[in-house]
Amino acid sequence: MQRLVRGTALAVLGLIAVAVPAGAAGFGIFEQGAKGMGLAGAFTAQADDPSAMWHNAGGLAFTEKRAFYVGTTYITFTNADFKGGTPFPGTGVTADQVTLSQFVPHGYWAQPINDIWKFGLAVEAPFGLTTEWDNPATFPGRYLSTKAALRVVDVNPTLGWKLTPNFGLGFGAIFRFSDVELQRYVPFLNPFTGTVVDIGKVKLDSSFEQGYGWNIGILHHYNESFSWGLSYRSKVKVDYDGTARFTQISTGIPALDAIIAQRIPFNQDLDVATSIDFPDMASLGVNMAFSPTVRLELDANWTGWSSFDELPISFTQYPPLSSVVPENWEDAWNYRAGLSWATSPGNEWRFGYVYDETPQPDESVSPLLPDANRNGFTLGYGHQFSATNLDLALMYLPFDERTTTTNNDNFNGTYNTTAWLFGVTLGF
């Protein structure tokens, strides 16, 4: 099983481009199936396709026939910029992120064992991050970050247990595989001029590491008009080992360059380690039928982001280069509503709204990850063919304007972000 899981993850990770924080605040990606995405992720109390393994494993218990679902979510920006504040970097300073254009895939296989037990295997990318800034050599936040990238893929084998005709329980194991990349410039106070100059660049690349967790969910169809669901996904810690490499930038003063070269081990692959405590998540949802063709779901999702309290970077060979980036994130909630309307047999329109609060305090907002509260609006469509089905979804995701004046790094200003997401899932 371990070899199969790792092989599956390696194959899929090769297809996964690093993704911006999208439909879940922080660096979470909640869009793991186009049907649920069309409902703004309000799917906990429905979970009636194989993406139940993400939204609520209890829904797997009601699977009646074998099914394969594959799809992707395309994520892009129409706006991601920064305007400087006082005292640093100063009003009038502006910067833009590199335009994002990434595909995040998902895949599911559901297989009934008998009337009571069902098996499923999911491949998901529930977290991801890319923040990369244009013109890094002149970007005023280059000493904090010019690029941060995180890739995550989960392999999630799951069992569904149909305890009664109306009550399902699901539970699974999470095998998480991930790598991380960080880039920034290195500053130095020039003793001859009293100004800060660039003396180098550093790039950190981790190897492909893994962590383990679990998930559980219940789904109860009280009657044909009402259902409710509850799901939970555990924390997962990933410890990363990798290398960091410093590249020297000449100051134009040979004597100063020589002194700096004695202090920093340039042009060497240095052992480096870091870790990320990925948060646990819980969802509660209720689904109500207003008519045979119209249903409304309301969900509340909690994420334990307080586990992301710091980002340690340890240089085992050169401890003085080690650092700890304080994050001090807080637990956060998001609230989702999804309306489905079956206009004719085999055709369904979906509409959704999500309010997602950021877990990031003002003090830790920085070029590494500038997060903010967001409101998401979704439109979806599903069509059932004779042997296949197609689900499509569109999300418009404007972030609230975020201004920080108390940043830990004294790098203050205003961030503006607007994202668009397009989802497609094919089932057969």
Query: pLDDT exceeding 90 applies to what percent of the chain?
Result: 85
Instruction: Give the C-alpha separation, 340 to 354, whole Å.
Output: 15
Q: What is 2-28+77-96+127-153+178-213+234-427's CATH topology?
A: Porin (2.40.160)
- pLDDT confidence of residue 26: 83
pLDDT for position 9: 35
| Cis amide bond preceding 89, omega within 30 | yes
pLDDT of 5: 39
Predicted pLDDT at 15 = 34
Say what the pLDDT of residue 24 is. 67
Supply the DSSP symbol for 140. Answer: T
Q: What is the per-residue pLDDT for 25?
A: 76
- Counting as low any pLDDT under 50, the low residues of the chain are 1-20
Identify the pLDDT of residue 14: 37
Query: What gap in Å lies between CA 263 and CA 269, rounded to an integer?
Result: 16
pLDDT tens track for 247-296: 999 999 999 999 999 989 999 999 999 999 999 999 999 999 999 999 99
pLDDT tens digits for range 354-396:
999 999 999 999 998 899 999 999 999 999 999 999 999 999 9
**What is the model's pLDDT at position 83?**
97
- Segments making up each domain of the chain, as ranges: 2-28+77-96+127-153+178-213+234-427
**Residue 334 CA, distance from chain mean position:** 14
Query: CA 223, 388, 122, 396 torsion: positive or negative?
Result: negative
Helix (H) or strand (E) holding 2: helix 2-13
**Residue 363: predicted pLDDT:** 93
Of the candidates 127, 118, 187, 135, the one whose C-alpha atom is nearest the C-alpha of residue 154 is: 127
Alpha-carbon distance 245 to 224, whole Å? 60
What lies within 8 Å, CB to CB, of 260 at 6+ separation is 188, 199, 200, 248, 251
pLDDT at res. 1:
46
Q: Quick one: the chain helix, strand, coil %, rounded to 5?
A: 10, 55, 30
